[in-house]
Every structure is written in C-alpha cells, then in structure tokens.
Amino acid sequence: MGIFVYLPLVLPLTALPVARLAAHHLHPRGATRLLAVAGTTLALCSTLCLALLMVIGTARLPGNPLPDGWSDPEVRAALPYEDRTGLVAIGVLGAVVAGCAVTLVRHVRTRAAAARALGAAGAGRGAVSAHGSGADAGVRVVESPAPYAYALPGGLLSGRTRGTAGTGRVVVSSALLDCLEPDEQQALFAHERAHLAGRHHRYLLLTQLAARANPFLVPLRTAVAYTTERWADEEAAQAVGSRRVVARAVGKAALVSARSPFAGPAGSAGPTGFAGPAGPAGFAAAGPVPLRVAALLDPAPTARFWPPASAHLLLAALTATAGTAVSALSSVNATVTLVRILHGATLL
C-alpha cells in the first residue's frame, strides 16, 4: 500500500488553485460542474482511504472481525505504517460520517422549514409572473418588512400546485420588490428561476458534503457558492437582455437585503438567496457581490470549455483532472493491496 494510501488525503490541497482559477476564468456553468465533480471524487477517495486505514486500526481492538491470520508478523510487516495511524483513522472517519449526517439533516430541515413557513404565509400578494401580469409562474411574494429573496427547490413543498411543485418556487418579500424598478424585478425573478432550473442546490450540497469529508476541500465549497450565483446572473442577463440591469439589481439587493430567514451557513445547500446563498450578510465587504457586479459589467464569458480559451482554463482543467485521477488511482491501488493482504492472511 505504501504512500498511496495517504495520497488521497492530501491531494485535495489542489482544490485551492483549482477553485481560484475556475471561479474567475471559466464560464460559471462549466466552473460549477468541474468543481462539483472534482470535489466529490476527491472526497470519496479520501473517505475510502480513511476506511482502509480504519481496517488496520481495528486489528488490535478486541472482537475485531478480521481473520486470526491478520496478527501474523509477516502480514503486519507488509504494512509500511504503524497501527496507531489506523486507530486515529477510526476517530477521523467517525467525525466525517457525523459531519455529513449533520449537513444532510440541516439541509432537509431548512427546506422543510422554508416550505412550512411559505404555506403558513398564504398567498401574500399572490403569485406573479415575470411580466407582472399576476399569473402563477411559480413566484410567491410574501408580505414582509424584511427585504429578501430565495429559490426553494421542489420536492419538499407543502400545498403543491400544478406546474410549480416539481421545479420549486421563487420566494420574494414585498419589501425587496418595493426597492427595485420593474426591469430589476424581472432580473431578480430570472435569477432565482435559474437557480431552480440549474438545480444549484445539488451542487452546493455535494460540495458541502465534500468539505465535511476533507477540510482541504473548503475552497471548492466557497467557490461553488460563488459560481452558482454567477451562473444565475448570466442566465438572468440573457433572459432580460441586459447585463447592466442585472448588475444594478444585484447591487441594490445587496445594499438593502437582509439575510434570508431560511438560508443556512455560507455555502450551504439551503434555499438560495438573490445576493448569495447566505444573503449579503454572509459576505465580507469586498466579497462575491462586488465581484459579481464587476463581472456583469464586463462582456459575457465564453461558454467554450475545450479547446481552452486561455492558459488559465487549461491549467484549471489539467490540475483538477490530475488531482482527481491520481487520487482515484491511489485509492484503487491501496484497496487492491489491502484485499490481497487480507486474502493472504486467511490462508495462513
């Protein structure tokens, strides 16, 4: 097994340069998908290697399920690390499982709480369409003095209505709508619908779980929280036909909005807010909202992923691919080696 069993635990360090390059040089859609796939793969490999180390750690525990031959000195000599590492892995793997479970429970509870609150609020001003005609287009305006907006994915909605339950709802407070011009309101609705259409909550949940599995993947979680917002911004700009209108809407919302009452911690997979998954309060003064506005004032990014449009794109893709490939190969190598050792132990 050698060093290969440890590589997947440290290879997620490549997440930092990949996150920076992808978030600022790739199209937001491609960056989100690249980071989600890379983060999920690295997290799975890291967890697998912890499980392999845990098997070693259980060798000295009373009542362990390993065969008697496992204690043979020749078998132990085939393992180039101490059993104490395996004992540490038991606690670390337990913490990973507990952290992922807490994240999943929080995700479900947040969505359920938002759905219950939406049902209790009633129709408010009623559902409005993107053209303000009053037709039901999956947008719910809630009478509230707190300015906020978020996208609530379908599946946990209470009081389902035809045509909206499967895809989710856009929830906007009356206070926020009163702060925006009509064209800016359309940008807001288009932004939130883009979150629902792109299933952005799934990417956020995957990267949140990956960061729980390996703290080195936290930069990917932060980057995906930003790229999903940029993805929705670009979709909104196409829908309303003006990047400047979307930039103006994002800026106004950031200035007046409160944290969404159902948005979880920054980067969580709860309802996604117009000024970010955690609302403007979740970002520093020089954080993603100013970056989003600046990006919207620039020309639209190219959606081409390959051939690369720049050296930054090529470097991000190669780094992500190399890191995930080496991590996966190392995990397979360590797994096969351990299986062979266990099989040999049963024959002793």
DSSP three-state, residue 126: strand
Query: d(Cα 335, Cα 185) in Å, to the nearest integer?
Result: 54
**Length of the chain measured in residues:** 348
Tell me if 38 sits within 8 A of 15, measured CB to CB: yes
As a whole number of angstroms, the distance between CA 229 and CA 250 comes to: 10
Cβ–Cβ < 8 Å for 53, 253: no
What's the rounded Cα separation, in Å, for the pair 25 and 283? 21
Helix, strand, or coil (residue 272):
strand
pLDDT in tens, the chain (348 residues): 556 677 788 888 878 888 888 888 888 998 899 899 989 988 988 888 888 777 776 665 555 555 555 555 555 555 545 556 777 888 888 999 999 999 999 988 888 887 777 776 654 444 444 444 333 457 888 888 888 888 888 765 444 444 444 567 888 888 888 888 999 999 999 998 999 889 999 999 999 999 999 999 999 999 999 999 999 999 999 999 999 999 999 988 888 875 556 554 333 445 666 654 444 333 333 457 888 988 898 888 876 655 555 566 666 666 767 777 777 777 777 677 666 665 655 555
Per the structure, how many domains does the chain have?
1
DSSP state of 276: B
Longest Cα pair distance anywhere in the chain, in angstroms? 79
Which residue range(s) make up the domain with 267?
2-346
- Within the chain, residue ranges assigned H as helices are 7-10, 15-25, 28-57, 73-77, 83-121, 174-178, 182-197, 200-213, 218-240, 243-256, 288-296, 311-346
